[in-house]
Each structure stands twice: as C-alpha cells, then as structure tokens.
Amino acid sequence: MIDNLVETINIINDKSIDAKLSQIRDLLEGKKVIVAYSGGVDSSVVGVLAKKYAKETKLIMQIGSSVARSEIDNALKQASQLDLGVEFIEYNEYQLSDEYVENDENRCYYCKTLLYNFLEEKRNEYHYDLILSGTNSSDLTGHRPGHKAGQETGIKNPLLIANISKPEVRHIANKFGLITTNKPSMACLASRMITGVKITQSGLDRVAKSEKFITELLDLSRLRVRDHGKLARIEIDPIDFDKLMKSDVFSEINKQLKEYGYRYVSLDMEGYRPATP
C-alpha cells in the first residue's frame, strides 16, 4: 500500500501542483487565518501552506472523548515540525447536541457544526479573516454531511478550491517533508459507533481502550473496533489476519474486550474499510 502511494506521489506533475498552489496563495495572501487542525495530512498541508502564504496562522484543534490520545500526540509532533503552536478547544459533542447522540447518518453534520461555530467565535475573538479546513477534492464522494456544515458556516477549503486530490495532498506533504506524508487517514472515535448506536462516554471509552489494547498487542497496518452495542467487530487489513487468528492471541483479545463491556467479539473477514453512514 505504501509503495503504491510513493509511486503515485512521484508521478504527479509539479507544474500542475504549482499552478494549484498559486490559487491558494491568492486566497491566503495578506490574510490572518485559523486552520481547523487535526494533525492529519490534509490539515497539516493546509497549515504549512497557510504559514507560507498567509499573514498569520493559528492551528486550533478540538479535543474531547471522541479524540484518541495518540492523535493529540501526533498532532503536536506535526505542529512542532511546522513551528506552529496548537490551541485546543475542549468539549464533548454528546454533551452539547442531542442529535449527535442519536448517531444517525448526519452525525458528522452536527459534529462539524459545533466545531465551526466554536472556531467562528475564535475568529471573532482574534479578529482573523478566514477559517480553513483540510477538505480536498477526493473527499466529495458519497454522503458528506460534515462538508455541508462547512458550507453553511462559511468555512474555506483551499485544497478543494484549488481542486487538489488526496494523492496530490500527499505529494505536497512529501515536498515539504512533513512527518504526516504517509499517515493513514483517521477518523474520530465516534465513527466506530455503528449508525443508530447512541454516542456515550462509556461507548467511546471502550472503543478507545479496545483499540489501544490491540495496537499494543499486535503490529497492525490498520485497525478499527466497530461498536455494535453488545458486539465489537474488529476490522484489520487482510494481510494481518494471521497475526490475530492465532488462538492464544484472539483468546486474549476476546477476554480483554469483554472486560471492557462487550458481550461478543468478532473479526470482520472482509477486512478494514472506511466507515459509511
């Protein structure tokens, strides 16, 4: 997977990228901007471009029960490389939005609406010009309620405006030497809760503990623990099946996840795939 990614990065045309970056420069030049930062490759690329082109740049990251501790640590490392500080805003979405708790197919809309409203307060507080997100042109396939929230609240998407795709994002990250260049796409812990399973503190906690336990036990390329209420469905890359299917390993995982509150533990034989509503 990584070899294919590197090959894709290497064949992207630099002249085409430069033309797209000039659009972002025109958008950001002379502006004071806030980047809705997560520490992933998309928001990190927006961060480095904002630092290069904008007048002033702030990285602001939301943290709470839906954000894994490892993601905060990674975000801080990337921000340090960018030589930009990170301001945190801390809240738990399930305490602020009943619609979010219900976890229907529009959960991301309620989540992003909360985030962007908080960022708009920060923009007014600091007298900044723009709030930027890391949405790129590859993100617009399928149902994207979070993007709708951004459109409604006036968030600017420089990568989307310049028609920059995910492979091109990684190409740009590679050119700048970002440590997130090959970082796999991540999603909040709430994305592990299957649509219709209510978002609760205990649910987020058991997902976080389950993924942390399995990650520390095994070296896996991808991992998600999907929460179906009483059932934990483990998704990993099929190339890693042999690591988990050893009887002693699976027995240990089964025992530990049941201690976290699950009644049943299963391995999804289709393997890892991005969550869909």
Q: In the structure, what pLDDT confidence band is assigned to residue 6 with cuts at 50, 70 and 90?
A: very low
Q: How many CB atoms lie within 10 A of CB 107?
A: 24
Which neighbouring-strand residues pair with 130?
33
pLDDT of residue 3: 38
pLDDT in tens, 58-74: 999 999 999 999 999 99
- Please check the confidence at residue 277 and state whether its pLDDT lies above 70: no
Q: Quote the percentage of the chain above a pLDDT of 70.
A: 94
| 233 within 8 A of 201, measured Cβ to Cβ | no
Pairing outcome for strands 86-90 and 56-63:
parallel
The residue behind tokens 């149902």 is: 143
Give tens-digit pLDDT for 112-168. 999 999 999 999 999 999 999 999 999 887 778 888 998 899 999 999 999 999 999
pTM for the full predicted model = 0.90
Q: What is the CATH T-level fold of the domain 189-267, as seen in this structure?
A: Alpha-Beta Plaits (3.30.70)
With 60 as the cut, is the pLDDT of residue 188 above it?
Answer: yes
Q: Which fold has domain 2-175?
A: Rossmann fold (3.40.50)
pLDDT band at 184 (very low <50, low <70, confident <90, very high): confident
Spans of all domains in the chain:
2-175, 189-267
